[in-house]
Amino acid sequence: MSEEILSLVKTWLKEELTYAAQLRSLAESLKHPVLRSLFLAIAKDSEKHNLILTGIKDYIENNRPFITEEDLDRIKETIKSHIEEESTSIKELTRLKEQVDDPALLLLIEAMLDDEMKHHALLVQIQKLIAEKEKISDQELWETLWLHSPYHGAPGG
């Protein structure tokens, strides 16, 4: 199954960058601010998809370094701050959405609100699942190294 996924991911990696370039070119040729903004945003999403696909590829190819406690602390601090910011943005965009009658402006606000809600949910998932599951303490690291070291620091050989 991993080989099939890897094969698809490698194809999609190239396609996403092609899509991004095409959409960026289209957007830059337009003067309409709503269409220009939306096509540029979708182009950025294709670039984001390329980054996510790269993560899938690296993960399947066993590039999985441990997260140190120091990294975990920085991740927790940053995620906590961004979760709070996303919550505030969601509340404000929801309030604005209810006040807007213009369909083009509403489309932009809804697109932004949708992204903020996705970001918020993803950050909460990262906070709950990945960071804790992947961490390794300095003590665990040294115990693992000691356990698997053939001579436990003594000259050997």
Residue 97: its pLDDT value, please?
A: 96
- Token pair 């899938």 is found at 56
Residue 120: its pLDDT value, please?
A: 94
Is pLDDT above 70 for 2?
yes
- For the entire predicted model, the pTM comes to 0.74
Report how far residue 150's alpha carbon sits from residue 157's, in angstroms, rounded to the nearest whole number: 9
Structure tokens at 118: 């996705």
Structure tokens at 95: 């309030």
3-state secondary structure of 67: strand
Report how far residue 110's alpha carbon sits from residue 96's, in angstroms, rounded to the nearest whole number: 10
Is pLDDT above 80 for 48?
yes
pLDDT by residue (tens digit) across 66-116?
Answer: 778 888 888 888 999 999 999 999 999 999 999 999 999 999 999 999 999
pLDDT by residue (tens digit) across 25-43?
Answer: 999 999 999 999 999 999 9
Residue ranges of domains in the chain: 1-64, 67-157
